[in-house]
Amino acid sequence: MNNRTMICVPIFEKSYDTILQSARKSIEAGADLLELRIDVMNNPNPDNVLNIIKEINFPLIATNRRVEEGGFFQGTEAERTDILVEAAKHANIIDIELGTEPEYLAKIVKVSKSTIISYHDFNKTPSADFLLEIVRMEKKLGDIAKFSVMPQNISDTLIVLEVLSKVQNTIGIAMGDIGMYTRIIAPFFGSPITFASLINKSAPGQLDIVTTKNLLDKLRNWR
């Protein structure tokens, strides 16, 4: 397994207290990295977000997922991205969607320590050529490319692995039960981060962190 692969646990909670509780439990369970889903928070204004990132005080991805890609943020695009600009002061990584309006995306990339440029399709798995072009565009803009797609059959999951075999520093995920195994296999294709849940899943097919750690350890030792 790629030595750089980290297990990231999304913090998918609404209130300040439950976010902190989930963060602490995830760290205790062995997370290498946390992902703060700002769009799920109650009253996610810039001050609240910045305070909670500082209080968590652990390597963290901040994302404020837009509705078009499975998120819950109800404000304007300017409000959504302004929160990420503020979060970038303390978050290690900002995840921003490739489909974000260019002026906002460029502003976030400029102020962030590191960025994941992401693409999500909750309905299907595009062709390998399409996803390779997505990755190419993402890499032109940020540090890490990410695509997460929905397979309809096992052949679709192989498209994800095919793409990962041709690129570097890219997170590739096949969602849902069919694609669940890719969350364990992707690290062996060089994916720098894989996602696992504590309690609340942020995407279909996420395994819990204990299972993820055990399976990765067994496969690494088996090799």
Q: What does the alpha-carbon distance between residue 33 and residue 18 come to, in Å, rounded to a whole number?
A: 18
Q: Are 9 and 194 in contact (CB under 8 A)?
A: no
**Residue from 25, 90, 120, 124 carrying the catalytic annotation:** 120
Q: Which residue has the tokens 């609240």?
A: 48
Tokens of 88: 């970038």
Active site residue 54: no
Concatenating the DSSP letter of every residue in 24-43 gives: HHHHHTT-SEEEEEGGGSSS
Active site residue 90: no
**Residue from 124, 146, 213, 218 carrying the catalytic annotation:** 146
Q: Are 217 and 30 in contact (CB under 8 A)?
A: no
Q: What does the alpha-carbon distance between residue 55 and residue 52 come to, in Å, rounded to a whole number?
A: 5
Catalytic residue positions?
120, 146
